[in-house]
């Protein structure tokens, strides 16, 4: 009995000893893991509240402010978090220096500005010195408060293009006078992909030439405002452009044209998509548009003021030159005391001059579009009621009706993503041009009101 009790006691003590060894190993493992995790997160996360430039997560970062309260937390990869309050001006960004002109930026952000702020792709070039913005979203004010020079459609949206001048202001080269280039998205978004080449090429077609890149950065800017932004995902790659205006693609389109006043603009459209907007001068100029898009090629003209007419000499598609006066589809020419005709290089009215398909197919007449596509119907309109079929225009935000002289007869600012929109028109009998502007595409069609 004594021996049995002795043996059980030894077993118990042995168990306690073994458990102590296990517990010691456990505590050591926890300690090692804690040190490891602390080290990892210490490397990946860093908060800075004073002006600073450095490298972290495979990207160059810069935090800059002039006054007010704000901090930037650097997270793994291209991710970061920024908060600011009562700021004068603040920029928090991560990107590539110098970056490349075919840079792409894919991002996702929880962006909560209060006041004036931009969520954008941002950077500088030298020779010439240029500060540039590709604005994806903004706060209380849509920048930059100037007149648009053109548009570029890419990455599922249309951007208005602007050029502004900064006189004796801070820059990467000290206090200088320099140009600012802008692409500002018509509809805000806080996630997606930006194909920089499409914007850079569209700017170049408008005479807004880029110099040597200093940086391409994903940026949060605050100006006399407060807010927060959690950039929970940001990465950079490369692409020559494949989704709209100004991109380098499989089709090279050249347009030789001029305007009467030098204020005229032409939209280069393939299918129902505006690829690029051309700003004409009073002398013939050859514009080059590169795109991967295929379909019916139209030059679209809006005559928004008296004394403005466009003259198109020729269009060249992949080396195949077509003279404007040999084209049979021209709804913009004034012939026989009305808009619309053929075999003319002049564009007086709101309308299009057609040059066939980029692959050589015959152009489709917009009056024959099936209502399963983007369309305006019925046409002619007999009871003052008309419907807009939205197949892939995106979110419709503006509808404008022009008379035959190019004056606006009626316009709406809307916010509608529905597939079918019904309108009531209170307009006199006559021929009009209806222009429907969507976030992805636009639709223009001649309508006849016969009631």
Kindly list the catalytic residues: 131, 221
Residues across the chain? 451
Backbone phi, then psi, for 15, in 5-degree steps? -65, -40
Q: Which residues of 2-33 are buried (b: 16+ CB within 10 A; e: fewer)?
A: eeeeeeeeeeeeeeeeeeeeeeeeeeeeeeee
Dist. CA 361–CA 365, nearest whole Å: 13
Among all chains, which residue has been given the structure tokens 């269009």? 315
Q: What is the DSSP letter of 140?
A: S
DSSP per position, 375-435: EEESSSBSSSEEEEE-SS--SEEEEEEE-TTS-EEEEEEEEE--SEEEEE----SEEEEEE
Token reading at 375: 């369309």
HSE-CB of 194 using CA atoms within 13 angstroms: 31
State the virtual CA torsion across 54, 58, 60, 66 in degrees, nearest 10.
-70
Helices (H) and strands (E) in the chain, counts: 2, 32
* Furthest C-alpha separation in the chain: 127
Could you give the CA distance from residue 38 to residue 308 in angstroms, rounded to a whole number?
Answer: 68
Determine the Cα–Cα distance for residues 189 and 210; give it in Å rounded to an integer. 26
432 contacts 340 by C-beta, under 8 angstroms: no
């Amino acid at each position: 009995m004594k021996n049995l009790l002795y043996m059980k006691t030894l077993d118990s003590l042995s168990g306690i000893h073994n458990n102590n060894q296990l517990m010691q190993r456990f505590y050591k493992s926890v300690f090692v893991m804690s040190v490891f995790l602390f080290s990892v997160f210490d490397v990946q996360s860093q908060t800075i509240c004073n002006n600073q430039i450095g490298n972290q997560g495979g990207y160059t970062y810069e935090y800059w402010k002039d006054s007010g309260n704000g901090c930037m937390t650097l997270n793994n990869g291209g991710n970061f978090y920024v908060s600011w309050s009562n700021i004068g001006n603040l920029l928090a960004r991560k990107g590539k220096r110098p970056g490349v002109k075919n840079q792409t930026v894919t991002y996702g952000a929880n962006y909560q500005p209060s006041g004036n702020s931009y969520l954008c792709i941002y950077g500088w070039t030298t020779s010439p010195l240029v500060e540039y913005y590709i604005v994806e979203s903004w706060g209380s004010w849509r920048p930059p408060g100037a007149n648009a020079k053109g548009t570029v459609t890419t990455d599922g949206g249309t951007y208005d293009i602007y050029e502004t001048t900064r006189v004796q202001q801070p820059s990467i080269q000290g206090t200088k006078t320099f140009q600012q280039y802008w692409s500002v998205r018509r509809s805000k978004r806080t996630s997606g992909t930006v194909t920089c080449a499409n914007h850079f090429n569209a700017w170049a077609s408008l005479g807004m030439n880029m110099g040597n890149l200093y940086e391409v950065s994903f940026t949060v800017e605050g100006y006399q405002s407060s807010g927060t932004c959690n950039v929970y995902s940001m990465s950079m790659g490369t692409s020559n452009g494949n989704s709209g205006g100004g991109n380098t693609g499989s089709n090279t389109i050249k347009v030789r044209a001029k305007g009467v006043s030098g204020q005229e603009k032409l939209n280069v459209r393939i299918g129902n998509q505006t690829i690029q907007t051309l700003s004409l001068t009073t002398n013939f100029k050859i514009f080059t548009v590169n795109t991967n898009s295929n379909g019916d090629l139209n030059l679209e003209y809006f005559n928004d003021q008296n004394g403005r007419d466009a003259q198109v000499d020729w269009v060249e598609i992949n080396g195949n030159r077509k003279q404007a006066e040999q084209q049979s589809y021209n709804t913009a020419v004034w012939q026989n005391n009305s808009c619309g005709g053929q075999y003319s290089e002049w564009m007086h009215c709101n309308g299009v001059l057609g040059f066939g398909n980029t692959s050589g197919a015959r152009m489709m007449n917009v009056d024959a579009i099936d209502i399963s596509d983007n369309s305006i119907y019925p046409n002619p309109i007999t009871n003052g009621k008309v419907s807009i079929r939205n197949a892939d225009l995106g979110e419709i935000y503006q509808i404008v009706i022009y008379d035959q002289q190019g004056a606006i007869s009626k316009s709406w600012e809307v916010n509608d993503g529905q597939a079918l929109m019904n309108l009531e028109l209170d307009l006199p009998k006559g021929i009009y041009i209806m222009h429907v502007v969507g976030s992805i595409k636009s639709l223009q069609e001649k309508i006849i009101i016969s009631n």
